[in-house]
């Protein structure tokens, strides 16, 4: 099994790259996040090898957290390698943890191949496992929001087009600073300022 490849990028196409390792080209499928962050020159990718009857498929990851999430996502019935890469292209590991912790079905359905039913299955099957997954350095989940004004503000921000994890973190910071009795207009204004930074 191949666990890591180090070589030069020969070609990048939609959803995959060709890595030249000592004159041998390896076709590696990867998320758009990994492909977009590939440096010029020599690269090293962690590899997840899937052996099928008719092919040996390589999936590459520049980040161990993304590889671990790929492995976990593919344990969910209906989530194959392609859907898992789609999820990892749409959401970073920290966004996945936040989406699952907040039962944010809308964030999951932004990924290609993930409909409402599959999003519900992912949320239910991974709810207890997501908290133990890596999310990246220096990140912690935002605290749960108190009911009332905070939920109204969060709903308004999501309707304005902000992503739920970022909006929730901004609202949580504002509520922590102003207190739970702050007025709706003040929380909205300050949350928009937080998101604008």
166-182 pLDDT, tens digit per residue, is 777 788 778 777 776 77
Helix (H) or strand (E) run with residue 7 in it: strand 4-13
Q: Which residue has the higher pLDDT, 6 or 145?
A: 6
Q: What is the DSSP letter of 130?
A: G
**Residue (of 65, 63, 61) closest to 29 by Cα position:** 61
Query: What whole-number distance in Å separates Cα of residue 129 and Cα of residue 147?
Result: 25
Supply the pLDDT for residue 80.
93
Q: Are 62 and 31 in contact, with CB atoms under 8 Å apart?
A: no
Confidence at 131, pLDDT banded by 50, 70, 90: low
pTM above 0.85, yes or no: no
The first and second tokens of residue 15, run together, are 């959803």
Dig out the tokens for 1 from the structure: 């099994």
Domains for the chain: give ranges and CATH numbers: 4-61 (2.40.50.140), 64-132 (1.10.150.20), 149-196 (1.10.8)
pLDDT at 132: 66
**pLDDT for res 20:** 94
Query: Between 103 and 150, where is the model more confident?
Result: 103
More confident residue, 26 or 149: 26
At residue 140 the predicted structure's pLDDT band, cuts being 50, 70 and 90, is very low
Reported as a single tens digit per residue, the pLDDT across 30-57 is 999 899 888 878 899 999 999 989 999 9
Distance CA 31, CA 85 (A): 5
Per-residue pLDDT of 5-19, as tens digits, reads 999 998 898 899 999
Q: What is the reported pLDDT for 117?
A: 94
C-beta neighbour count of 177 within 10 angstroms: 11
Q: State whether residue 67 is helix, strand or coil.
A: helix
* Contact status, residue 99 vs residue 120, Cβ threshold 8 Å: no
Confidence category of residue 29, pLDDT binned at 50, 70, 90: very high
Q: What is the mean pLDDT of the chain?
A: 84
Mean per-residue pLDDT, 138-147? 46
> Cβ contacts of residue 25 below 8 Å, gap of 6+?
10, 18, 19
Which of 113, 117, 115, 111 is CA-nearest to residue 92? 111
């Amino acid at each position: 099994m191949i666990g890591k490849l180090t070589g030069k990028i020969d070609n990048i196409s939609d959803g995959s790259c060709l890595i030249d390792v000592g004159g041998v080209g390896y076709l590696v499928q990867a998320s758009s996040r990994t492909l977009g962050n590939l440096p010029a020159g020599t690269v090293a990718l962690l590899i997840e090898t899937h052996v099928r009857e008719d092919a040996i498929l390589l999936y590459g990851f520049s980040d161990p957290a993304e590889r671990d999430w790929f492995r976990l996502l593919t344990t969910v019935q209906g989530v194959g390698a392609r859907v898992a890469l789609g999820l990892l292209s749409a959401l970073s590991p920290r966004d996945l943890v936040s989406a699952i912790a907040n039962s944010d079905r809308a964030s999951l359905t932004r990924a290609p191949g993930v409909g409402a039913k599959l999003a519900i299955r992912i949320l239910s099957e991974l709810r207890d496992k997501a908290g133990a997954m890596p999310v990246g350095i220096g990140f912690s989940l935002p605290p749960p929001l108190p009911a009332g004004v905070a939920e109204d503000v969060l709903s308004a921000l999501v309707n304005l087009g902000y992503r739920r994890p970022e909006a929730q973190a901004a609202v949580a910071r504002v509520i922590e600073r102003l207190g739970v009795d702050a007025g709706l207009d003040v929380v909205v204004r300050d949350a928009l300022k937080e998101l604008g930074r």
